[in-house]
Chain A
Amino acid sequence: MTQEVTGTAPEKLVAVPVRHYGRWVGALVVVGLFGWLVSAFGNADIHYHVTRDYLFEHVILVGVWHTIEISVLSQLLGIGLGVLAAVMRQSGNPVIGSIGWFYVWLFRGTPLLLQIILWFNLAAIFPTLSIPGVWHADTNVFITPFMAALLGLGINEGAYMAEIVRAGIGSVDNGQTEASHALGMTQGLTMRRIVLPQAMRVIIPPTGNEFINMLKSSALVNAAQYTEVFRVSQTEAGKNLELIPMLFVAAIWYLVLTSVFSVGQYYLERRFARGAQRELPATPVRRLLALIGKPPRT
């Protein structure tokens, strides 16, 4: 069947678009407030050149590196513990299940700062640490600032990750487990190969938020004398007596770290959306390339 083509083209529709006066007023107010804030910061007696001079100081850069290092390692420890605790709570074994429950209860129920200080002073409770016949250490030697920071942040994080992983596992259709079992896969294999990879899609976005939090709450390990960027900037401020400019140094680095990571998170989420959508949406980079007329690589 063909449609008959009429000679005249349809008349183009012309209409006055809706005017959003409110938006313009809002924008003016925001610009005004922003200008006032800038002038307040500008007129205050803050030595901004100190911020600029210290931003790339060697000690500061080492501090930044330590912040990245402790955050990444603690987050990894947290993810490992979280998966373990979540799987434990899933297991049919009531003893194992309650261990998982107790862990989450204890470490979510007490302040992180308190936990970090406790880890740092572990020697007061256990003067020596040992795995009988395998390993033995003086607690004061074993618990360095780094170890206290790692244990404090990582173990606490694990309790939060456990909840996130549990929600992720719960989001996977029961039919997946059933099909795996029907193929002769054991529970462990099913969890590792089928359930957890699919749970990732649900686990990753909140984990990204957790990591951004981690980057910032790593400042708390100041209490364990670990030399991350916040502690270092404070130490320097103690020497040059420029508290506010040095706080800005730390703030700028935290913003840089969280921004860079947010971009990484976007790509991570994309990768784990595989299979959930027929086609993945184009990345911003590709969309940009398409805009300036470059054919996207495939």
Chain B
Amino acid sequence: MTTPMVKAERVHKYFGKLEVLKGIDLEVQPGEVCCLLGPSGSGKSTFLRCINHLEKITAGRLSVDGELVGYRQQGDKLYELREKETAAKRAEIGMVFQRFNLFPHMTALGNVIEAPTKVRRTSKAQAVQDAKALLERVGLADKVDSYPAQLSGGQQQRVAIARALAMKPKLMLFDEPTSALDPELVGEVLDVMRGLAKDGMTMVVVTHEMAFARDVGDTVVFMDGGVVVEKGDPNQVIDNPQHPRTKAFLGKVL
């Protein structure tokens, strides 16, 4: 059996007294596309952010590609990783945000080559060559020199995907990548993600796009109130939900 790309065991997360994740168990296999569904405030973003240690989990175990996130285990003791070590691990996980978070003072190209040149210390020439290929792959070959403010939302999000891919990640996390987009721009972003899935990228996608979850998702996970309520095959969870809370949620979004 291969090592799962993401493995969460009884993951809890508190913000002060507020318990946001209440024991999440989840496995994502290499090459799998896992779609996270659930109402607002159910902890989807928080869980995603725990996977690359933007948030620290309060209890449980969380590992990516067989290694603990944010910690090193020696015997039965856990040691917190240094900032540099955590950063190095994050570099292998791509993340795409709802609000793009492109660097507004850099061009599309500048955004894409930033981390490869500064974190990985790839030569500028090489990074530019790779970045241009990536921008072409997301359909933005002609926007290389545009600043984010000169791009539409859909174009910005595609640059953001290219920026994450530039680090050659083994896992991609998407947090509602199309929720901030005008309806007519959603398709172009989903198409890029579809292409990624087809090329075998392991992806965890928080989304409200049911058609995408059904077509592209290998598994669908429904979260509510900080727990996984139901998970399984997309057709089963979306078209034939078992749990009343899943039914209620799907009844509202479909």
- A and B bind: yes
A residues sitting closer than 8 Å to B (CB atoms) are: 173, 175-176, 178-179, 181-187, 189, 193-194, 197-198, 274-278
Tally of B interface residues using CB under 8 Å: 33
Distance of B81 from chain A, by nearest CB (Å) = 12
Interface string of B156-176 (1 = CB under 8 A from A): 000010011001000000000
Closest to B166 in A: A183
Interface string of B64-103 (1 = CB under 8 A from A): 0000000000000000000110011111111101010111
Q: Please, could you name 27 A-B residue pairs with CB atoms under 8 Å apart, sorted by A?
A: A175-B97, A175-B99, A175-B101, A176-B101, A179-B103, A179-B160, A181-B54, A182-B90, A182-B93, A183-B90, A183-B115, A184-B87, A184-B89, A184-B115, A184-B167, A185-B118, A186-B83, A186-B84, A186-B87, A189-B119, A193-B114, A193-B118, A198-B103, A198-B105, A276-B149, A278-B149, A278-B150
Q: Which of A182, A193, A197 counts the most chain B CB atoms within 10 A?
A: A182
* Interface SS of chain A: helix
Closest to A193 in B: B118
Interface string of B97-130 (1 = CB under 8 A from A): 1010111111000000011001100000000000
Closest to B95 in A: A182
The answer to whether B147 has its CB under 8 Å from any CB of chain A is yes
Contacts of A187 in B (CB 8 A): 83
Contacts of B89 in A (CB 8 A): 184
Complex CA gap A181/B54 in Å reads 8
Contact A183 B106 (CB under 8 A): no
* Interface SS of chain B: mixed
Contact B103 A182 (CB under 8 A): no
The answer to whether B246 has its CB under 8 Å from any CB of chain A is no
Complex CA gap A20/B84 in Å reads 67
Contact A184 B119 (CB under 8 A): yes
Distance of B46 from chain A, by nearest CB (Å) = 13
Closest to A272 in B: B105
* A197 in contact with B91 given A185-B118, A186-B84 (CB within 8 Å): no
Distance of A48 from chain B, by nearest CB (Å) = 50
Distance of B90 from chain A, by nearest CB (Å) = 5
B residues sitting closer than 8 Å to A (CB atoms) are: 52, 54, 83-84, 87-95, 97, 99, 101-106, 114-115, 118-119, 147-150, 160, 163-164, 167
Contacts of A189 in B (CB 8 A): 118-119
Complex CA gap A183/B102 in Å reads 12
Contacts of A193 in B (CB 8 A): 114, 118
Contacts of B93 in A (CB 8 A): 182
Distance of A217 from chain B, by nearest CB (Å) = 32
Contacts of A182 in B (CB 8 A): 52, 54, 90, 93-95, 164
Complex CA gap A184/B85 in Å reads 9
Distance of B162 from chain A, by nearest CB (Å) = 12
Contacts of A274 in B (CB 8 A): 105, 147
Q: Which of A181, A184, A193, A276 counts the most chain B CB atoms within 10 A?
A: A184
Contacts of A178 in B (CB 8 A): 54, 97, 101
Contacts of B164 in A (CB 8 A): 182-183
Contacts of A198 in B (CB 8 A): 103-105
* A185 in contact with B115 given A198-B105, A275-B104 (CB within 8 Å): yes
> What 20 additional pairs, Cβ within 8 angstroms, besides A175-B99, A275-B106?
A175-B101, A176-B101, A176-B103, A178-B54, A178-B101, A182-B164, A183-B91, A183-B115, A183-B119, A183-B163, A184-B89, A184-B90, A185-B87, A185-B118, A186-B84, A186-B87, A194-B103, A274-B147, A275-B148, A278-B149
